[in-house]
Amino acid sequence: MKKTLLIVGSVLIGAIVLVALLFMILSLTACSSTPKDAACVEGVEVEIMTTADGVEFVRTPDACFENLPDWPYEPQYVEIDGLRQAYVDVGPADAEETILLLHGQPSWSYLYRKMIPGLEGAGHRVIAMDHLGMGRSDKPSDPEYYTYQGHVDRLEAFIQELELDDTNLTIFVQDWGSLIGLNVVGTHPDWFDRLVVGNGFLPTFEEGTIPYPLPENPRTTRNLFHQAVLNLPAQQELIDWEDENFDSGGESEISYFSLWIDYARNDERFRPEVFVEAQTYYDLTPEEEQAYAAPFPSRIFMGGVRAFPGLINQLPGVTDSAWAGLGTYTNPFLTIWGNNDGGNLGNPVVQQTLLDHIPGSEGWDHVRLPEASHFLQDDQGEEVTRRINEFIAATSE
């Protein structure tokens, strides 16, 4: 249990809090300016829709996604439980290999703009899905609607609706995409011919526990959190994990992730694009930040992105069987890590834990990319693509 808490202390975006609090004290370099609202916010009329089951949701207007840099892709949709699940689907429909890309929080499939062209160019069919409440997928307005098991169930339904379980399927997962995707892989290992993970994990907790209780003084901690993030440098400095003076937070970071849960869920200053920028090694352009902001023109569109961090407290007792299933996964398994993810998720111990647990890892070139942070797809998308293409080529019959 202690080891699991240590590993998950900064699962997903938790590393931001630790690094931010340190920089608030030590750094004099201000973060690059970031947009307060998506570019389409002026004139957006919010239409609240309702499913047949009475779930209220909103749908980000198409105008918000016009002229996004390096994103020429038209969305496709599949309806699950009365709500549209959006995805990009490029490459030959009858391609020998299909690749499913899963993003995390608070991003969307735009995160894969540097990977899709190279994967498609290698002749693969490439599908990048937006989780419910993210990207161009429908967005139930009540954060309480979103559950961890709900996301897992929707991914299973999505794969079956598109009949991906009958293809030669490779899945790449990162951040919350890994907590959801690895659950499905562990439960349905026969659906996936290959597995690739970047800066992700599937934590397990003892049933009946609350891994990350909310802070007792949220008004104070939210202000500290907000000011700390504004003082993050736009360009990260390289991390040396072997430096004895470097501290990724250890067990103390458990409380920091609690702050992140509270801030994302409750603070009206929370903006998704600010946190994507904070967890990339290279500075994003204002246009790229606007693209990450595009799905969320106002707060009513943020139910899903606000709820995501807190779903970690729904995991106790839920992921045990899937973790056990991963321990029997013998198909090829590759890890590609962003070394500059400064929290425990970036720690080599986390990557090694997956390699030791999943038998399909043996014999492959597992790597840590130095100039890549938590969102390695944005920092080193072309290199990640090259390695995935080589991995598929080496494992194809």
Residues classed as catalytic: 175, 341, 374
Q: CA–CA separation, 309 vs 176, rounded Å?
A: 9
Query: What phi, psi does 190 have (nearest 5°)?
Result: -75, -10
> Which residues make Cβ contacts (< 8 Å) with residue 145, sequence separation at least 6?
55, 303, 307
Report helix, strand or coil for 358. Answer: coil
Residue with tokens 């998506």: 38
Give the whole-angstrom CA distance, residue 397 versus residue 394: 8
Residue type for 105, please?
Q
Contacts of 216 (CB under 8 A, 6+ apart): none
- Cβ contact 231:30 at 8 Å: yes
Contacts of 130 (CB under 8 A, 6+ apart): 85, 86, 87, 103, 108, 109, 136, 137, 295
Contact in structure between 52 and 283 (CB atoms under 8 Å): no
Widest distance between CA atoms in the chain: 58
Q: Phi and psi (nearest 5°) for 328?
A: -110, 5
